[in-house]
Amino acid sequence: MKRILVYTSIVPMGEYDIWGTIDYSQLYQVNKTYYDGKCRNTGNKVWMQGIISELSTPENQLVYYDPKMTFEQINANFDMVLFSTANLFCRKFLDEMEEYSSFFSEIKIPVFVISCGAQANSYDDLHNLCADIRKPATKFIDTIYNTGGEFGLRGYFTKEVFDCLMSNTAVVTGCPSLFQNGRTLKISEEKLDSHLIKPVFNGSLPFKNDVFKEYPDSIYIDQNFYFNELYAPSFWDNIEISNHGIYQLIKKYKLQYLNLLVSNRLKLFVDIPEWRSFLQQNGYNLSLGSRIHGNIMALLSGIPAIIYAQDTRTREMAEFYNIPYFLPEHKFQKSVYDIYQNADFRKFNLEFSSKYDAFENFLIQHGIVEKMNTDNIFWSKQAPIKYPNESDPVKEEIASALRKHPFLYSSMNSFIILDEKIRWKLTH
């Protein structure tokens, strides 16, 4: 039996709790206690769930890191350490790289860093990024190599960053999140008529028009931003239901997202199997937006996904997997349906199994698995949880107030132009 230390602490109902049953009534308090009330990106659980499912094989015993563990205990009781991280190689994580270097310099068993990546606004930023992160990044890379470990990189931009920083043997493996259904994942190449499209949106949306009005059955899936609005007890009870109060809400949320909040078309799933069940059971057939793991969740549900690649992280993953994407320079130039019509999944379907095999070979080569687990251990771990009660009298009052002012349903561009007129009308 191989003992693998997963360098991740598990807080019940916390950022990486992929095992527990989520009690939504307690979620806000847990978030407040452990994360200063700020919701962590729920997409992080998608890639953590992926690697844990894939490594859950008969020969492996996976143990999660406990801060009480000493270096002596780790070195004596484990065969290797698995560190799964995302955007470590970027300007905002300089201190974290130093801290990890200090920690792993005490580890005497191999450390394998899986799915790590660099992040910048664009590929053109590569050399400036390397200059800014060189000292802590090379120290961290050296530290991992000194343990006898290796790096599995998220995409080819990250590999270019590594090559710019120093000599290395790191391998591009992609992100384990997309491999958790096995090697046979396929996305339909059939195109639907416009009136049959039922989209789910996420992240940034580069459209001039209100796509939620254009597709009235669509929803928006958030990953952290609207946590308080959805899960804080009595959040909506403190809202002033008046013309002035409604105006302040529109200023805070922008009109289209306020409409989504009060009409229960904005979701945030903390339980990953529940997220997938929701997508599969409600007939969604297109995912679009800038959230990479929001789109990966759609792909894992068999739904075509198109990525708005607004930084190197999303772009390099889209390119590695051949997921259709478009760039910020195409912002506002096309409609949702135009983008959908031009999306081509043939290369994704053709090459996915070889990407899977390459990742599995990386794990086998380094003695991490004998063969990857293909039977996802999470999809059947529980029945879908009952969603939090979405019937809220205050939200219904706000929705009613918005309906009484039809001019508020104009496009956001018009709303900005008419801002002073709306201000006057709502406050007089």
What's the pLDDT at 238? 83
Cα separation values, 329 from 202, 335, 405, Å? 19, 14, 35
Distance CA 201, CA 206 (A): 11
pLDDT, residue 400, reads 86
Q: What is the pLDDT of residue 405?
A: 64
What is the structure's pLDDT at 55? 98
CA-to-CA distance for 339 and 290, rounded, in angstroms? 14
Give the tens place of pLDDT for each residue, 72-111: 999 999 999 999 998 999 999 999 999 999 999 999 999 9
**Amino acid 141: pLDDT:** 98
pLDDT at 333: 74
Instruction: Spell out, as residue ranges, where the chain has pLDDT lower than 50.
Output: 409-420, 423-424, 426-428
Site of tokens 């949106």? 201
Q: What is the pLDDT of residue 88?
A: 95
Query: Residue 386: what pLDDT?
Result: 55
CB–CB of 414/408 below 8 Å?
no
Q: Is the dihedral of CA 313, 318, 320, 321 positive or negative?
A: positive
**Closest residue by Cα to residue 302 from 319, 318, 281:** 281
| 106 φ/ψ sector (left φ>0, alpha ψ -120 to 50, else beta) | alpha
What strands, in cross-sheet order, belong to the sheet with 305-308?
Answer: 266-267, 219-221, 199-202, 286-289, 305-308, 325-326
Res 125: pLDDT: 96
Q: Do residues 266 and 219 lie in contact, with contact meaning Cβ atoms separated by under 8 Å?
A: yes
pLDDT for res 197 = 97
Residue 209 zone, left/alpha/beta (φ > 0; ψ -120 to 50; rest)? beta
Which pLDDT belongs to residue 311? Answer: 94
Residue with tokens 């990386």: 362
Q: Which amino acid is at 32?
A: K
Phi, psi of 218 (to 5 degrees): -75, 160
Backbone angles phi, psi at 344, to 5 degrees: -120, 115
> What pLDDT score does 414 carry?
42
Vertex 91, ends 80 and 327: CA angle to 5°? 100
Beta bridge partners of residue 116, listed in sequence order: 153
The confidence score (pLDDT) of residue 340 equals 96
